[in-house]
Amino acid sequence: MSEFISGRLRDRGVIALIALLFSVGLWFRVVGGEKIEATKIIKLDYKTPKDLILYSPFPTEVTIRVRGPSPFVSEFLKQESILSVDLSKMGTGEHEVAIRTDELKIPLGIDWTMISPQSVKLFLDREIKKRVTVRPIISAQLPDAYKVETVVAQPSTVEVIGSRIRLGLLNSLPTEVIYLTENSLNQHFEAPLNFKDFSGIKTVNEVSSVHVEVNLKGPSKRRLFRGIPIRLKLGQPARSYTLDPDSRGIKLRPRTVDLLLEGPQSNLDSMQASTIDVWVQLPELKKGSNPWRLTWKLAPDVRIIDRSTDTVLVTVP
């Protein structure tokens, strides 16, 4: 029995030795085979001292050239590589920092032959906070008759954080371009803040956009609309539906209304009496005759100057 076990162990040992020799042979074949060169972009990760930040702009990556067996290099190029740059013992001011390749993890069998740049110039500065004005950027290609009267941003100021030097030169933060039209004298926008030209600066409370209200001064027009049909809506406003009064024998008096409207000419010119939404809102149907006030919905900047009636007598049989 002991001879059988000893024989099995010897067989396993032989198999393991053969596998090891095969692996070593394969390794030397790969290492000794065709070698290639390739370049790779390496991201830089800066470790800064407390309360100090890098003054933008600064390099965010370097390029290295490596040489090695084709399979090893190909696999290395697929991996994301990050090189840590330690600035923790440096103070404020300008520094030239050498890029240390010993901090970069390069797989066994691959050698680096070039790194560019070999050093980077950096400027460390104090990190501070500052409140600056929001500056809406308006693009107003309007007809000559229209002028921008007021522009109001809400909030009108934001608190930002960044380099002491950069914030010392910053008094306002622009929005992205806001495009106006002549279709409304009162226009509202949700305008993103524009940080493209202010790298290294961010808002303290992560504010990314502001509300901008623009008021135009321009010609208004009056127009009389006759015979606007009055609709009947039943239920609470949020869940109401339009009801055909004739199908229920319900009488409306009057059935139509005349409206004198004022607003931008472009808005009034595109309106028709049949498309103006006017109705009476009934919470429920109750028998009898009762007066109900008119409700309406109009285009932006259009208002009612005069109307032929304020109420409608609704008779439910």
209 and 260 in one domain?
no
pTM (two decimals): 0.53
Q: How many helices (H) and strands (E) does the chain have?
A: 5, 22
pLDDT at 106: 81
107 and 58 in one domain?
yes
pLDDT at 11: 55
269 and 206 in one domain?
no
Percent of the chain with pLDDT over 70: 90
- In this model, does residue 309 exceed pLDDT 50? yes
User: Within 10 A of 135 (CB to CB), how many other CB atoms are there?
Assistant: 16
Residue 7 lies in a domain: no
Chain position carrying tokens 């990190």? 127
Domain hosting 212: range is 127-217
pLDDT at 90: 92
Residue 232, phi then psi, degrees to nearest 5:
-115, 125
CA 231 from chain center: how many Å? 42
pLDDT at 217: 84
- In this model, does residue 30 exceed pLDDT 50? no
133 and 99 in one domain?
no
Residue 2 lies in a domain: no
pLDDT at 190: 96
Most distant CA atoms of the chain, gap in Å: 117
- CATH code, 142: 2.170.120.40
Cα separation, 278 vs 308, whole angstroms = 13
292 three-class SS: strand
DSSP for 164-196, written as a single string: HHHHHT--EEEEEEEE--TT-SEEEEEEEB--T
Q: What tens digit of pLDDT does each residue of 183-212 get?
A: 778 889 999 999 988 888 889 888 899 999
**CA angle, corner 171, sides to 170 and 173, nearest 5?**
80
Cα-Cα-Cα-Cα dihedral of 259, 148, 142, 220, to 10°? Answer: 20
In sequence order, the 6+-apart residues with CB closer than 8 A to the CB of 191 are 136, 153, 175, 176, 178, 209, 210, 211, 212
Q: How far is CA 296 from CA 81, 121, 271, 277, 303, in A?
A: 63, 66, 14, 6, 10
In sequence order, the 6+-apart residues with CB closer than 8 A to the CB of 1 are none
183 and 266 in one domain?
no
User: Within 10 A of 4 (CB to CB), how many other CB atoms are there?
Assistant: 8
Pick from 155, 183, 217: which residue ends a domain? 217
Computed over every residue of the chain, the mean pLDDT equals 86
When pLDDT is cut at 50, 70 and 90, the band that residue 169 belongs to is: confident
Number of domains in the chain: 3
pLDDT at 105: 78
